Amino acid sequence: MVNTLHEGAGFSRVALALLNPGDTDQLLGRVVVGVDLPERYLASFTGSLSAQHPLFLHVLKQQDPLLLSEITTEGPRSLSPMFLKTWKPSSAILAPIRIGIRPIGLLYSDRGPLPGQVSPQDLQALQLFFGQAILSLNRLAGVL
């Protein structure tokens, strides 16, 4: 899924983070493409959803992907300072990954650091692909 969005849909950077099965408040960065030093980028995803990643927690409670056209560092929809320092995003798409009704992870896609902008058309393309990918995951999990 990550490679397809990067290579086929034209997103410069794509990352996957999963919830820790033993502690669902912990997000763990797992896969990232389109960057040098992937360990640093993955580490910026890892941490407490309630304390460090309130925006990611908000997205995980949603059903649909979210287009972030304005990135903020304050409030309930903020990104952690470490994430902002590492990624330097100008806009991005965040999508919750669910098996049935249970969130299991998060998908992040952007068009690179400033001034790269993700458009509403990018969101539509991601939604088409993402919907099919989630259906497949749910079939594999025996939910559908």
The most distant pair of C-alpha atoms in the chain lies apart, rounded to whole Å, by 42
| Predicted local confidence at residue 13, as pLDDT | 92
- pLDDT tens string 88-127: 888 899 999 999 999 999 999 998 876 778 888 999 988 9
The residue ranges of every structural domain in the chain are 2-109
Band (11; pLDDT cuts 50, 70, 90): confident
- pLDDT tens string 32-86: 999 998 999 999 999 999 999 999 999 999 999 999 886 655 556 678 889 989 9
Class of domain 2-109: alpha beta
- pLDDT tens string 12-33: 899 999 999 999 999 999 999 9
